[in-house]
Amino acid sequence: MRDSGNTEGQSGAVHPLQRKAATTLAEQLSAQFSARIRDRLLLPGSRLPSVRECARHHSLSTQTVVAAYDRLQAQGLVEARPQRGYFVRGAADELPATARHNGAPDSASPLAAPTHATALVRGMFHQMGTGSGVSLRGAPGSGVLPAQWLESPALSAVLRRLARAGELEQASLHYGHPMGDPLLREALSRQLAGLSLRAPPQQILTTSGASQALDLVLRALTRPGDAVLVESPGWAMQFAQMAHHGLKLLPVPRGADGPDLATLEQLARAHAPRLFICVSVLHNPTGQSLSASSAHRVLQLAQHYGFQVVEDDVYAALADANSPRMSVLDQLEHTIYLSGFSKIFAPGWRVGFVAAAPAIIDRLIDQKLLAVLTTPALTERALAHLLEQGQLRRATQQVRDRLDAARARAVRLAEKAGCRFVTPPRGLLGWVDTGVDTAMLAQRLLDVGYLLAPGQLFDPLQQPSTRMRINFTQTQDEVFWRAFAAARP
């Protein structure tokens, strides 16, 4: 029997099964499934491919697949449901120890098509060479700029400057200020003033990226069971963070001009949400920006119904300074502003920040102290110097010019391949309709080395979708689009 080396659906294998291996085909197949379950690439409740589907895809006998599934069931990893098939059991920490550690070693864990946020991020790290030995040809679904676009002599130059000035030891041998490096917060205050947002240094708290900024806000301002308004589509990682905190997500459809205001008001009236998590500028994944009229109405609703607007502005550097931002209109009365530099400069430094009213900042400091005490002073001081010298501004303009050219080429290739842009392409990310189920498409393309971001990732309810997010800088290669066309039915 010949093996194609790929399972279907969420569980597609990257490593082929080996006929001449020391272990049987059934043992190899069960090991690959158990590795995915252990690494949470197959979540509790996920359905395994049917016996016939799996057998046909691998050119195996149905008896071999049944034997593999029986092994998984014996290990407590899956359960058989009459007339329905095999399903993954409870979370990994609820499984027996033998089940949690059974299967291929971590260094050889194969990838599965991304069906949830952390699976997509795992795949991105695989492409960067920081995951397992699995190699990818490209990550069209990535949300970041290529590393080579961010290379700059300014990084090493500023660190040498700090060393000559004796600041390197000072920043390395002492804990930093709980609020963040004072020089950086002053520089950030001036940068925000350029957006017409008045935020003195004492209203700014530095964090380990914008993701930690949101986590601190959720810890400080919500409790399990609270309702939180979110955009649909929106960023899957944020949905996962909120779910981890036990929050009830209230999806609000996102249009070209902003959220559906009627739905927003209806949900606010019925559920008394604590927060509205949104992206005003270069929305992820649609690339759209909020209109001034929509921003004004959202703020009216926030004041009337008593919720805080958490404005995520991580792509601020790629947008025009005069783009409407609710934090600017509101001046942090009912808004909390989050941003960072990982998308545009030195991702490994993980410098983010939050600007908010003094009372909220005070609560966030407590949460930061409990979580990490302080953030690294060395990288914060280095970034402060780069901001002061204007080097970050110049580097950002170069990236924006290069991105404009990349976007134009990616749009031509995508449309030639039969994709339709749901919203006008802007910024780094495009939101396209493929006409087919993108979860299935993601698996097929992963089998040939490309990591996609299927539309269901961006739906709070994880509904099937024909849409996908593309990164304009990662979709320049005609080879990818030929693979895309071949994979699409």
- Cβ-proximal residues to 117 (8 Å cutoff; 6+ apart), any chain: 235, 236, 237, 239, 240, 457
- The tens digit of pLDDT for each residue in 40-58 reads 777 788 888 888 888 887 7
| Angstrom distance (rounded) from CA 21 to CA 33 | 18
Predicted pLDDT at 364: 98
Specify the pLDDT at position 100: 39
* 156: phi then psi, degrees, rounded to nearest 5: -70, -35
Residue 479, pLDDT score: 95
Bridge partners for 87 per DSSP: 47, 79
Confidence (pLDDT) at 113? 53
What is the distance between the alpha carbons of residues 324 and 295, in angstroms, rounded to a whole number? 7
Q: In 356-466, at which residue ranges do the beta strands (DSSP E only) sit? A: 420-421, 429-433, 453-454
In angstroms, the CA 41 to CA 46 distance is 10
pLDDT tens for each residue of the chain, 489 residues long: 333 333 444 434 446 788 777 778 888 888 888 888 877 777 788 888 888 888 887 778 888 888 889 889 888 888 888 778 888 886 433 444 433 333 333 433 444 555 556 666 666 665 554 444 445 789 999 999 998 999 888 888 998 988 888 888 888 888 899 999 999 999 999 999 999 999 999 999 999 999 999 999 999 999 999 999 999 999 988 998 999 899 999 999 999 899 999 999 999 999 999 999 999 999 999 999 999 999 999 999 999 999 999 999 999 999 988 889 999 999 999 999 999 998 888 888 999 999 999 999 999 999 999 999 999 999 999 999 999 988 888 888 999 999 999 999 999 999 999 999 999 999 999 999 999 999 889 878 887 889 899 999 999 988 889 999 999 999 999 999 999 999 987
State the Cα–Cα distance between residues 436 and 253, nearest whole angstrom. Answer: 21
What is the dihedral sign for C-alpha 267, 270, 276, 277?
negative
- In this prediction, residue 52 carries a pLDDT of 85
Q: Give the β-pairing of 420-421 and 275-278.
A: unpaired
- Give the SS3 label for residue 260: coil
Sheet of strand 275-278, all strands in order from the earlier edge strand to the far edge: 204-208, 351-355, 335-340, 308-312, 275-278, 227-232, 248-253
Exposed, middle or buried, 479 (CB in 10 Å: 0-12/13-18/19+)?
A: exposed
pLDDT, residue 115, reads: 54
Taken in order 267, 460, 454, 130, the sign of the CA dihedral is positive
**What is the model's pTM?**
0.77
Q: What is the distance, to the nearest Å, from the Cα of residue 143 to the centroid of all Cα atoms in its chain?
A: 7
Q: Which domains, and CATH codes, for the chain?
A: 9-112 (1.10.10.10), 153-389 (3.40.640.10), 394-487 (3.90.1150.10)
Tokens representing residue 478 in the block: 């005609």
Residue 256 has phi, psi (to 5 degrees) of -65, -35
pLDDT value of residue 122:
64
Please give the pLDDT value at position 325. Answer: 95
DSSP string computed for 206-222: EEEHHHHHHHHHHHHH-
End-to-end alpha carbon distance in the chain? 26
